[in-house]
Amino acid sequence: MSLAETPHLAACPGCVAGPLPAAAQSDAAGDIFHLSLPSIHCAACISTVERGLLGRADVHSARVNLNRKQVTITAAHGTMPEDLIDQLTDLGIEARILDLDALGQDGDREGRALLIRIAIAGFAMMNVMLMSVAVWSGATDATRTLFHWLSAAISLPALGYAAQPFFRHAWTALRVGRLNMDVPISLALILTAAMSLYETAAGGHTAYFDATLSLTCFLLIGRYLDHRCRATARSAAKELAALEVPRILRKTAEGRETINLSQAQVGDPIIVLPGARVPVDGEVIDGVSNIDRALLTGESLPVAANAGVQVSAGEVNLSGPLTIRATAVGEDTSLRRMVTMIDAAESARNRYTALADRAAAIYAPAVHLLALVTFAGWITYTGDFRHSLNIAVAVLIITCPCALGLAVPAVSTAAASRLFRSGLLVKNGTAMERIAETDVVVFDKTGTLTEGQLEVGAIETMPSNTRAIALGLAQSSTHPISRALALGFESLGTKAAILTDVAEHPGKGVSARINGQAVKLGADHFVGAQPEGGHGAWLQIGDDAPVFLPLQATLRKGAEDMVAELRKSGTEMHLISGDTAAATQAVAKALGINHVHAGQSPADKIAYLNRLAESGSKVLMVGDGLNDTGALAAAYASVAPAAAADAARAASDVVMLGDTLAALPELITTSRSAKRRILENFGIAAAYNALVIPFAMAGFVTPLLAAIAMSSSSIVVLLNAMRLQRRRKA
């Protein structure tokens, strides 16, 4: 198949490139299930879900995305989703089958529900406090008891409704024999309410209904702020999912009909009106318009669309009506595949996540043990049951591991979202962690740092059949020089010859046969020619003398600024190419790169990276050609441009969606910033516990202050993560 005949999905070249993450494959890998987990909210929940599912023999993989409250499961063929839901229910986790066609349509039900509960708790708290003022002002005996009973009548129903999120999550955990962070919170609320009710029934002087409602209100405010921070730093995957069009126009023999997106099939003629989003991947079969791809690829200028042009789901039709023939729908669209890969990157399990999970697993039982020890110590020392219980309740609340559970996922989500908005698709979940540690960037030259344009004047006199053969060979190769040659010949109106036995040889060129005669296009050594000083490729037809096809080498857009930014950050840069020494040195000199190696074969590139690794360097490889695939896979981390060969994009960790290199420094700085934020969050969580736990055990912290402190620590961690979303000033 020629290059012109090869489908090209414009929205997500990285997605089309090759293997999706394990959770996005089907066929041999098994069946894929997406379940909604509305009740999860901490690292302990993630651990419970993943370990519980992976304990089943029929589950191959399970990956939780805390920010989206979903789990993606790869299971053996024949596994029923109901069985997986039952498994999670037995673990105390609410689960539902997720309809991916409804992505982005769920609104903010959780936020609205929390606001209603906050309002009820706050209203009840203010009324109870008014009656508490009367008690504090000197009300005695029957009057005091009456105010206590009135407070109970207001507090208990309000508490039963407002604190439901804590009670429900705690109960689902306890009934299957596990602990989560809502267990100590619920225990604290129940104990303070029960203690207050006992004092009221006994005619005691003190009740804590006002404190119980205040505690509930502040805990709910903390949870709502946590929810809002997550919404502000929401995943790029969710934003992309919102680009899907729920209902579309399908052309019929009678005219057109409106159908649901899930009803669309490959081959359907779909009508896209001006201003509408393209709902599926497809090929334009009728109409002329312009397509806006800015949200998907970062391309600032619209792209012309007419018959034969490939379009992708999520792109915007700007000017005229188009009819497209669907080539991919549903799960197979490049938009949905992009969503899956970003989702995988955000929820990946790096070493920091594993550390947080282990800490949270130890922390939950330690909280209850600490509260019990505190209660035993104080009751032994003072003999005052109420005072000892009050201090134990404060310890239960203040030691909840909320901040620890948020330390990693909040940063991962914010960083992946920022990078996507900068035109960088992170395909591998541990990529940012590895990129943060790199200290050397190795560039390929042709197609990565440079672009090629054919010197048309040099081949205008070439016989038409020769140009046709050259175009056919060029269209059959993914190398940047071949693409440049193809564009140049096409600009002259050349029609490609029909070739057979086409084969691409990495680092050399492409060969084929026409009418039984061998033809080649590629490097000088591939066709047996003497090296030429210029930039270009050699064409050989049969036994004829090779013909040189010259190119003008131009730097890729943003290359100079990118190199300047990396130099400012102290990053060491190398240029490695299969091109001639003269051409490679010219590019290196123009960009100011000192470490230069020319005439390198694919094996030479891998050996060079291995030598750098042996010397202690951690290499970020940036390449685009088929001959760079081995080097991209061998590097510590790797990046490929959107226009790279499919194999190169598949082997890379990150794909640059735009047509400029300017985003590369952003990738490195954001990855390093993300690593710093994670370590800072661990430090915040550790410092918080080291500071407040001794005060709480010593009796200097009330349950209300404990609730404020616990919520504040979580918000500080989230706000620290959200600093990643602030772009650097140009």
What distance in Å separates the CA atoms of residue 717 and residue 696, rounded to the nearest whole number? 21
Q: Which of 107, 206, 159, 653 is nearest to 432 (CA)?
A: 653
SS3 61: strand
> What is the DSSP code string of 354-423?
HHHHHHHHHHHHHHHHHHHHHHHHHHHHH--HHHHHHHHHHHHHHT--HHHHHTTHHHHHHHHHHHHHTT
- Give the helix ranges, DSSP H, for 329-350: 334-346
Q: State the CB neighbour count (10 A cutoff) for residue 117.
A: 21
State the amino acid at position 728 in one-letter form: R
Please, what's the largest Cα pairwise distance for the chain? 115
* 556 and 660 Cβ atoms separated by less than 8 Å: yes
Q: Which of 699, 703, 700 is nearest to 215 (CA)?
A: 703
User: Which residues make beta-bridge pairs with 217?
Assistant: none
Residue count of the chain? 730
Q: Which of 268, 357, 444, 653 is catalytic?
A: 444
* 573 and 595 Cβ atoms separated by less than 8 Å: yes
SS3 701: coil
Q: Which of 275, 395, 334, 367 is nearest to 697 (CA)?
A: 395
* 620 and 638 Cβ atoms separated by less than 8 Å: yes
Inter-CA distances, 21 with 65, 343, 631, 653, Å: 14, 10, 21, 11
State the amino acid at position 262 in one-letter form: S
* 125 and 210 Cβ atoms separated by less than 8 Å: yes
What number of CA atoms fall less than 13 Å from residue 536's CA on the CB side?
A: 24
State the sign of the Cα–Cα–Cα–Cα dihedral 23, 27, 33, 34: positive
Q: Position of tokens 């490139």? A: 17
Q: Which helix H or strand E contains 216, and what residues bound it?
A: helix 209-232
What distance in Å separates the CA atoms of residue 671 and residue 665, rounded to the nearest whole number? 10
Given phi > 0 = left and psi -120 to 50 = alpha, else beta, which region is 364? Answer: alpha
State the amino acid at position 273 in one-letter form: L
> What is the DSSP code string of 421-457?
HTTEEE-STTHHHHHTT--EEEE--BTTTEEEEE-GG
Instruction: DSSP letter for 461, please.
Output: T
Asked if 444 is an active-site residue, the reply is yes
* 280 and 333 Cβ atoms separated by less than 8 Å: yes
And the tokens for 642?
A: 């959107």
Close Cβ partners of 474 (under 8 Å, ≥ 6 residues apart): 3, 482, 483, 485, 486, 489, 510, 521
Q: Position of tokens 């994009």? A: 649
* 216 and 229 Cβ atoms separated by less than 8 Å: no
State the amino acid at position 402 in one-letter form: C
Q: Which helix H or strand E contains 325, and what residues bound it?
A: strand 322-328
Pairing of strands 70-75, 59-65: antiparallel
* 655 and 649 Cβ atoms separated by less than 8 Å: yes
* 292 and 316 Cβ atoms separated by less than 8 Å: yes
Q: How close are the terminal C-alpha atoms of the chain, in Å?
A: 44
What distance in Å separates the CA atoms of residue 318 and residue 170, rounded to the nearest whole number? 51
> What amino acid positions are annotated as catalytic residues?
444
